[in-house]
Amino acid sequence: MTTPDNPDPQAPGWEAFTAPDLALFEQLAHEAVISLPQPWRDMATHVALRILDFPPDDVLEAMDLHDPYELTGLYEGTPLTEKSVMDQPAHPDIVWLFRRPILEEWVDRGDVGLGDLITHVVIHEFAHHFGWSDEDIAAIDPWWE
């Protein structure tokens, strides 16, 4: 029997559902940036957001990770707390999100919305960019561990 708590995957309408794609992840990541309080929001808009299904092999190798599902996001750049006005950037700072590991964590948790989880990962990666402490992160992300 189909109920809201036990939907029938064969019921009409389920064929229209697809896995959240890279475009949706990008949209949710941008929404997470827009939700940051000022002055962080304006500064965050200068960081590129990139979404891939998995981290590249060279990233996993550099981090000594053997399972691509272990990494949901990555900050690439120099934290603001370490930058100098004399620095000449070689490339923009980037926050990377990895769709498949995030989806796996979302399914495993089963108790959080996808947008909330993406926001959590985005905030964690921006914490590296801004040089935030755990207390700073907790003030912005209410379910920081």
Total structural domains in the chain?
1
Rounded to an integer, what distance in angstroms lies between the CA atom of residue 100 and that of residue 92?
24
Query: Model pTM?
Result: 0.84
Q: What is the pLDDT of residue 113?
A: 93
Q: How many CB atoms lie within 10 A of CB 75?
A: 18
Q: What is the pLDDT of residue 3?
A: 53
Structural domain harbouring 39: 19-77+91-140
Rounded to an integer, what distance in angstroms lies between the CA atom of residue 50 and that of residue 59?
14
Q: What's the token pair of residue 143?
A: 């379910």
In a domain, 86, yes or no: no
Q: How confident is the model at residue 137 (pLDDT cuts 50, 70, 90)?
A: confident
CATH number at 50 reads: 3.30.2010.20
In a domain, 84, yes or no: no
In a domain, 36, yes or no: yes
Q: What is the pLDDT of residue 84?
A: 74
pLDDT digits (tens, 9 = 90+) for 23-54: 999 999 999 999 999 999 999 999 999 999 99
In a domain, 14, yes or no: no
Residue 113 Cα distances to 38, 74, 76, 142, angstroms: 24, 21, 26, 14
pLDDT digits (tens, 9 = 90+) for 69-116: 999 999 999 888 887 777 776 788 999 999 999 999 999 999 999 999
For residue 35, which of 45, 25, 20 has the smallest C-alpha distance? 45
- Quote the mean pLDDT of the chain: 88
Q: What is the pLDDT of residue 62?
A: 95
In a domain, 68, yes or no: yes
